[in-house]
Structure 1
Amino acid sequence: MLNVSRKLPDRPPATLQLILPFQERSKSRLRATLSSGEEAGLFLERGSVLRGGDRLLSDDGRVIEVVAAEEAVSTVRSSDALQLARAAYHLGNRHVALQIGFGWLRYQQDHVLDEMVRGLGLAVEAERAPFEPEGGAYGGHSHGHADDHSIIRGVGMK
């Protein structure tokens, strides 16, 4: 079994891929199967959360790319920033992990939450997509993709 205990600070070219849903990427100790079929044991710093695009270094020097697996999610889209903010508030009030993009919100699919959001006047679309929720105000940075700051660039800003 391949041992992995280090997350790389940069993104060198990878020779292997590790495809995992968010729940698995939130664990610091994990036994997983790489896309090559090879078994790997992850022994990362406690509290580590892997994001799509992260790179890991195996004990034999190979670089592994982390890929966010598609999973069952609910996506809420709206051009009304106030409606999305209200939905984000109510979901956050229930401590729901939430991915935020320009004009949309995404959370792991849950029919009770879907009904709550519909009750706020928004449509909910069940789909399969990678899930990269915000990291939290006290836990460091969010997922680091280019669209992180797009929500600040003028949604409802006049």
Structure 2
Amino acid sequence: MQKPTRVRRSRRAAKLLRIERPRLGEDRVWETEVRSLPAHLLASLPLPATLRLEVPGHDGIVSVATSPEVVRSERESGAVVFDAAEWSALVTAAESDRLWAVELRDFCSRKAKHAGWSLDLDAALAGARASAPAGWTVGAVLDRLGVRLIAAEC
């Protein structure tokens, strides 16, 4: 009698695992931490925060500052800066699907031309009603607006 021969089953290929690690000399941990913060709570941080942003289509850096002193000094120097209330309006409008990159660029242009102009919730929502808060992170809001986070200061 012949011995039964073993039939080998073909093995499935192992799943590839990709481990990403930061490039040497590049430390962007701060960016991950800032982007993961709840957007509506930015003004509630224990220390005042300032975000430096690059807005496509707008020349220069745009800031979001929660400190009234920083807002005042940057506005006096002619920089475009959104204060805590304006940031809240931007977040609410983005979560309500009423604010996109084009509108933000227009708001930045308006702030650059008229130093005293301030964004309110009605202007950010363009007359629409706000949706219930969605709990977006800073990163989700920035991604919706097509903005790049350059720096964060506390």
TM over 0.5: no
- Structure whose residues are more often strand by fraction: 1
- Structure whose residues are more often helix by fraction: 2
Normalising by structure 2, we get a TM-score of 0.22
Normalising by structure 1, we get a TM-score of 0.22
| Bigger Rg, which one | 2
By relative contact order (CA 8 Å, sep 6+), the higher-ranking structure is 2
